[in-house]
């Protein structure tokens, strides 16, 4: 069996059942999402009816145990679902990704039995979740949080502002990170479960974005927002651990999003070059175009294998920190290069909205920014290599 640089086994093959699952999600995306993709992009909104269909398909609670109304499947299945959806629309994919790899993952690992019993069935059947860490001055420096949680009897009062929160418009449950003891630094950070409609909590400005426009990205405002002590996820002062360990897994999900996006752009390009004629023959007949397609295919498959390997390691309970960082940085860079080449090969048509590669090109850029910038991934990899 092949090994990665860290010495871990490379576990990348799909079983027949896994391939069938991935293809079934893609079929759903092709039939239900693709007809709406351009409209969702233009209006920067996804219809609730489509979100309900995602719940009906069973991919909004993939790792939730069957005892809590979920699919009872693996993290790897979440990755496959995100990849398949991203081939059609990365905005829909990131909704599913945040739900599974961040929100549900955090509750499965850190939630008490009462928390799991209360929230997991809802997350698997109807409730969208959001993960609320970033702030104006807390991006790559994730723990420079200014949002505060002040203990008052059996409640905590949250005050502060979060930015760039994915799923904010659609979510009814939010995992919010606040510092309950600033003097202790990151050891005061605590994760809270906050429900939409809680007094003192409002959804603020929605960002007007370059790409993944149908995915809502909003600010959150907390003004003397009272939440019960039972809303703490994990332990008081352990929020930094919740955040770090969850984001390590979330990066694999973003890797899957970028792989699916790149695959979608590649598929469109192969179809187009077989149809477009110049100088009396299709442009696919030109060796220069063939070589470009070959390089695109190599890059997409390379990124896919890195993503699959990281997800397999995670499910096997093996170390995967470096592999997650590697798959995230490689897949995001591949997505940008492949979509850029797709636009080039489409020529003038690639620069207009009538063809899907223009949208995928815009969607690709975020991959190098959210859930850890490329520079942060390089730091993680380098630290691992140097011990």
8 Å CB contact between 192 and 158: yes
Instruction: Provide the token pair at 139.
Output: 């991006």
The residue behind tokens 């603020």 is 204
Using CA atoms, how far apart are residues 158 and 161, in angstroms rounded to an integer? 10
Instruction: Provide the token pair at 216.
Output: 């809502």
Helix, coil or strand: residue 6: coil
End-to-end CA distance of the chain: 25
Task: Return phi, psi of residue 218, to 5°.
Answer: -135, 165
Nearest by Cα to 25 from 130, 131, 100: 100
Residues contacting 234, CB < 8 A, separation 6+: 110, 111, 190, 191, 241, 242
Catalytic pick among 135, 170, 323, 371: 371
The residue behind tokens 């175009």 is 289
Helix, coil or strand: residue 169: coil
Cα distances from 264 to residues 35, 76, 122, 142, 256, in angstroms, run 15, 20, 32, 32, 12
Q: Is 371 a catalytic residue?
A: yes
What letter does residue 15 receive in the DSSP assignment?
P
Helices (H) and strands (E) in the chain, counts: 12, 10
| C-alpha R_g of the chain | 21
Q: Supply the residues annotated as catalytic.
A: 371
């Amino acid at each position: 069996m092949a090994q990665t640089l860290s010495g871990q086994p490379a576990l990348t093959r799909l079983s027949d059942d896994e391939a069938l699952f991935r293809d079934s999600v893609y079929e759903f995306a092709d039939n239900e999402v693709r007809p709406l993709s351009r409209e969702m992009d233009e209006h920067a909104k996804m219809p609730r009816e489509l979100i309900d269909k995602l719940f009906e398909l069973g991919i909004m609670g993939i790792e939730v145990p069957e005892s809590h109304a979920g699919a009872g499947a693996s993290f790897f299945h979440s990755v496959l679902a995100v990849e398949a959806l991203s081939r059609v629309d990365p905005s829909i994919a990131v909704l599913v990704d945040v739900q599974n790899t961040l929100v549900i993952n955090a509750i499965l690992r850190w939630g008490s039995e009462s928390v799991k019993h209360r929230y997991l069935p809802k997350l698997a059947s109807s409730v969208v979740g959001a993960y609320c860490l970033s702030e104006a001055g807390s991006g790559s420096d994730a723990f420079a949080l200014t949002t505060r949680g002040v203990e008052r009897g059996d409640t905590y009062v949250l005050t502060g502002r979060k930015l760039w929160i994915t799923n904010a418009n659609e979510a009814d449950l939010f995992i919010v990170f606040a510092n309950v003891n600033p003097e202790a630094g990151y050891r005061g950070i605590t994760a809270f479960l906050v429900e939409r409609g809680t007094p003192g909590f409002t959804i603020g400005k929605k960002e007007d974005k370059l790409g993944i426009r149908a995915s809502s990205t909003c600010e959150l405002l907390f003004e003397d927002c009272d939440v019960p002590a039972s809303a703490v996820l994990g332990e008081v002062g352990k929020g930094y651990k919740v955040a770090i360990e969850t984001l390590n897994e979330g990066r694999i999900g973003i890797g899957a999003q970028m792989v699916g996006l790149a695959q979608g752009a590649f598929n469109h390009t192969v179809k187009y070059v077989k149809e477009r004629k110049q100088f009396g023959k299709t442009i696919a007949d030109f060796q220069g175009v063939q070589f470009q397609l070959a390089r695109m295919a190599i890059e997409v498959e390379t990124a896919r294998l890195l993503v699959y390997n990281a997800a397999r390691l995670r499910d096997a309970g093996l170390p995967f920190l470096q592999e997650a960082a590697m798959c995230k940085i490689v897949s995001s860079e591949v997505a940008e290069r492949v979509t850029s080449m797709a636009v080039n090969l489409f020529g003038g048509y690639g620069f207009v909205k009538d063809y899907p590669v223009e949208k995928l090109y815009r969607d690709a850029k975020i991959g190098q920014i959210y859930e850890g910038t490329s520079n942060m991934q390089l730091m993680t990899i380098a630290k691992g290599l140097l011990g």
